Amino acid sequence: MAEPATQASSHVGDDIIIEMAGVNKWYGDFHVLKNIDLTVYKGERIVICGPSGSGKSTLIRCINRLEEHQRGDIVVDGVTLGNDVRQVDQVRREVGMVFQHFNLFPHLSVLDNLTLAPIWVRKMPKREAEEIAMHYLTRVKIPEQAAKYPGQLSGGQQQRVAIARSLCMNPKIMLFDEPTSALDPEMIKEVLDVMVELAESGMTMLVVTHEMGFANKVADRVIFMDYGEIVEQNVPSEFFSNPKSERTKLFLSQILNH
Amino acid sequence: MSQEHATESAMARPPVTQVGAVRWLRENLFSGWLNTTLTLLTIYILYVALPPLLDWVIFNAAISGTDRDNCTYAGACWVFVKVRFWQFMYGFYPEPERWRVNVVFIIGILGVASLLTSRVPTKAKLIVGVCMLTIFPVFAVVMFGGGVFGLEYIETSQWGGLFLTLTVASAAMVGSFPLGMVLAIGRRSKLPVVKTFCVCFIEFFRGVPLITILFMASVMVPLFLPEGLTLDKLARAIIGITIFNSAYMAEVIRGGLQSIPKGQYEAAHALGLSYWQGMGLIILPQALKAVIPGLVNTFIGLFKDTTLIYIIGIFDLLGMVQASFRDTKWLGLAFEGYAFIMLVFWIFCYSMSKYSQYLERKLNTGHKS
Ligand SMILES: Nc1ncnc2c1ncn2[C@@H]1O[C@H](COP(=O)(O)OP(=O)(O)O)[C@@H](O)[C@H]1O
Ligand SMILES: [Mg+2]
């Protein structure tokens, strides 16, 4: 079953940043996460793949507690997630998330989307927040769109704004939930390029995606999930050329041959 | 080859359509059998109804002079409205003290205007807004009522006319909007106590006629108030109207809250915003924007509903006009009085409607994401 993480990963340091142990979650009677054990090291880039409905989104949403788990422990950057609202807020300040459908705030300009959280959550002066926002907009290559509203941008541009918005909070961890699957094919690359750059800068990243080219290029570790379990995890070269379980082989054959 | 090129460049521009009055008439008024019939019918009705109406309102109407003998019997007698005009505006508020009302209204209008125009910077608006909600109401009550700072005391029973209508309406609007917002959010709360309270409150006050609430406020509430505590009848009426309309307001706003996708809440949470920050900065601005037409509808309804306070013996604009019908010198001029009320209310309601349309255009930021 699950490979031990130490064998599968060539992590940068030995500092653990996320520790999930025996995590279980149910939606009513439906057992969506089953005994998840996952250790993530600082600076690690992890790609999570698996069939639709296998619990990938639920897994990463538990890390910033958009979903609550019912059994097991999740420790993020030294903070244990539970019912304590202050601890949840503390974790959310350090964890950025990028969604499939961008979820930009349509009533705010791009610049205001970016400065909102730094101003209200980090209590940063407006001037400073705007400088940081422009810095990240430049990094995602759309500084000229700062004054526009999200509804006036293309999907690829919106997703890059969403990435910049998360980065403005200077997070230690970035979560991506299928960031390119709502995009037209010609826009996927512009978003992936930004993500590759981010990975090269040393950001700890957990990415749910079926972009196997991206996984091959930047991932330290690929995790395969099915039916709420981590079925297999390995470094990309091994994962793709030498999958161990039948379910992984089937999944890979399906997505690589379509 | 060159011809092909010409067609192509012609296609690049939108087709130029022939314009002109005849064409417009043909396309809009006579574009088919049914349309033509309706157009002709409308013209006929206007032909029959408009001339006598205009005769009554304008051509045969009397406006000069100051007493009954100046009225003609062929048209409206605007002399009546003219003579009574200032009473319709201020009620029985003593004439030498009316400057107090004017001062409050001028400040109020300036304050509201500065909040509504886009020229004033946001920071200034914030200061003005806070003042309008805190200092201004106190100032207005002191000025209207007096009894302090050497101002003559004037009982609320002497307040009246349009001045009272506007006072009641503004107070009820300013009160019911935030209350409605709180009720709407409360109705969607996960806490059972909060939710149940809000549901009961909304469903009760939405389910009973306003007139019964006003009667209760004027007759029953004083009986239940603890010994020694009195609350002015006008204040009770305003509270009644506020509560009644907050229930409607809450349902309109709840509709807006429901139209906001879950992803907006999630993005707010993921960025570390607290529940109330997310509500105030992300959810409510979008929800309120989505329901501007419904909110304005409720405001207009509230404004017109204020006329019901006449029934509990408060002389608003409607009350003043109706009271004047009883003056034996001016008997039989109800049409003129009601027409005047209609005109005044229409001006205010139409302005609100126009402003809301402007606001919708201004807040439109492109497609939903
Ligand atoms: N709020 C919810 N209530 C009930 N079932 C849910 C809810 N969210 C997700 N599920 C179910 O949980 C399973 C896993 O969902 P998800 O984590 O979104 O899968 P994935 O991201 O791998 O496609 C799916 O079968 C989905 O139908
Ligand atoms: Mg998913």
Per-residue pLDDT of B290-304, as tens digits, reads 888 889 899 999 999
**Count of Cβ atoms closer than 10 Å to residue A167 Cβ:** 24
CA dist., res. B194 & res. A88, Å (int) = 23
Q: Give the rounded percent of residues in chain B with a pLDDT score beyond 90.
A: 29
**Atom of ligand 1 minimally distant from the CA of A58:** 17
Determine the distance separating the centroid of ligand 1 and the alpha carbon of B281, expressed in angstroms.
Answer: 29
> Which residues on adjacent β-strands are paired with residue A68?
none
Q: Does A139 touch chain B (CB under 8 A)?
A: no
Nearest CA in chain A to B276: A120
The 10 Å Cβ neighbour count of residue A114 is 29
3-state secondary structure string across B287-322: HHHHCHHHHHHHHHHHHHHHHHHHHHCCCEHHHHHH
Q: For B336-348, how does the pLDDT look when each residue is reduced to its tens digit (9 = 90+)?
A: 888 889 999 999 9
pLDDT tens sequence across B144-182 = 887 788 778 888 888 888 989 999 999 999 899 999 999
- Residue B250: which of B187, B173, B172, B174 has the closest Cα? B187
Instruction: Flag the least confident range among A194-203, A216-225, B227-236, B308-317.
Output: B227-236
* Cβ contact B281–A106 (<8 Å): no
**pLDDT tens digits along B34-80:** 888 888 899 999 988 888 888 777 777 777 777 777 777 777 778 77
| Subunit contact B271:A103, Cβ cutoff 8 A | no
* ipTM here: 0.90
List the beta strands (DSSP E) in chain B: none
CA distance, residue B268 to nearest chain A CA (Å): 8
CB distance B368–A169 less than 8 Å?
no
Of A93, A99, A152, the CB nearest to B266: A99
The pair of structure tokens assigned to A106 is 């349509």
Closest CA to B166 of B206, B212, B106: B106
Going from the Cα of A57 to the center of ligand 2, the distance in angstroms, rounded, reads: 4
Token representation of residue A124: 């940063």
> A136 touching B, CB under 8 A?
no
CA–CA dist A60, A176 (Å, integer): 8
Facing residue for B266 by CB, picked from A66, A150, A158: A66
**A5-9, A159-163, B134-138, B299-303: lowest mean pLDDT where?**
A5-9
For position A5, what pLDDT does the model report? 44
Tokens of A50: 């698996």
Under 8 Å between Cβ of A41 and A80: no
pLDDT class for A13, splitting at 50, 70, 90? low
Ligand nearest to the CA of A58: 1
Q: Cα separations (Å) of B24 from B21, B28, B249? A: 5, 6, 42
Question: φ, ψ for residue A205 (rounded to 5)?
Answer: -130, 135
Band of residue A62 on the pLDDT scale cut at 50, 70, 90: very high
- The confidence score (pLDDT) of residue B117 equals 80
Q: Measured on CA atoms in the order B197, B202, B207, B210, is the torsion positive or negative?
A: positive
Residue-wise pLDDT for B77-94, tens only, equals 787 777 788 888 888 888
Tally Cβ neighbours within 10 Å of residue A177: 22
pLDDT over threshold 80, residue A175: yes
Nearest Cα residue to B298 out of B240, B358, B239, B246: B246
A189 CA → ligand 2 middle, Å: 20
Chain B residues with a Cβ under 8 Å from any Cβ in chain A: 261, 263-264, 266-267, 269-274, 277, 281-282, 285-286, 289, 363, 365-369
Number of CB atoms found within 10 A of residue B61's CB: 18
Taking 50 as the threshold, does the pLDDT of residue A220 lie above it? Answer: yes
Could you give the CA distance from residue B124 to residue B115 in angstroms, rounded to a whole number? 9
| A132 closest CA partner among A99, A88, A93, A164 | A164
Question: Bridge-partner residues for A207, per DSSP?
Answer: A47, A176
**Chain B interface includes A170 (CB < 8 A):** no
Q: What is the 3-state secondary structure (H, E, C) of B139-179?
A: HHHHHHHCCCCCCCCCCHHHECHHHHHHHHHHHHHHHHHHH
CA-based nearest residue to A166, from A94, A250, A89: A94
Residue B7 predicted with pLDDT over 60: no
Average pLDDT value over all residues in chain B: 84
* Predicted local confidence at residue B230, as pLDDT: 67
Question: Dihedral through CA A139, CA A142, CA A147, CA A149, nearest 10?
Answer: -110
Q: Cα separations (Å) of B103 from B98, B115, B116, B139, B142?
A: 9, 19, 20, 10, 12
Whether residue B367 has pLDDT greater than 70: no
Strand bridging mode A71-76 / A221-226: unpaired
Domains for chain A: give ranges and CATH numbers: 16-102+172-256 (3.40.50.300)
Q: Is B259 helix (H, G, I), strand (E, B) or coil?
A: coil
CB-based contact, A68 to chain B, within 8 Å: no
Assess whether pLDDT exceeds 70 at residue B16.
Answer: no
Q: What is the pLDDT of residues B105-131, one digit of tens each?
A: 899 888 888 888 878 788 888 888 888
Local structure of A38: helix, strand or coil: strand
Give B16 Cα–ligand 1 centroid separation in angstroms. Answer: 53
Which amino acid residue places its CA nearest to atom 5 of ligand 1? A27
Q: How far apart are CA A105 and CA B283, in angstroms?
A: 9
Residues in chain A: 258
Interface test with A, best of B271, B279, B283, B364 (most A CBs within 10 A): B271
Q: Report how far residue B114's alpha carbon sits from residue A14's, in angstroms, rounded to the nearest whole number.
A: 59
Helix (H, G, I), strand (E, B) or coil at B213: helix
**Ligand 1 atom having least distance to the Cα of A28:** 4
Helix (H) or strand (E) holding B90: helix B78-90
Place of tokens 């126009």: B354
Q: What is the mean pLDDT of residues A204-211?
A: 93
Q: How confident is the model at residue B228 (pLDDT cuts 50, 70, 90)?
A: low
pLDDT digits (tens, 9 = 90+) for B249-263: 999 999 999 999 999
- Per-residue confidence (pLDDT) for residue A228, from 0 to 100: 92
* pLDDT for the residue numbered B369: 39
Instruction: Supply the pTM of this predicted model.
Output: 0.82
Average pLDDT of A98-122?
Answer: 94
Contact residues, chain B, for A103 at CB < 8 Å: 261, 263-264, 266-267, 369
> What kind and span of H or E run contains A175?
strand A173-177
C-alpha to C-alpha distance for B250 and B257, rounded to whole angstroms = 10
* Mean pLDDT estimate for chain A: 90
Alpha-carbon distance B113 to B128, whole Å? 10
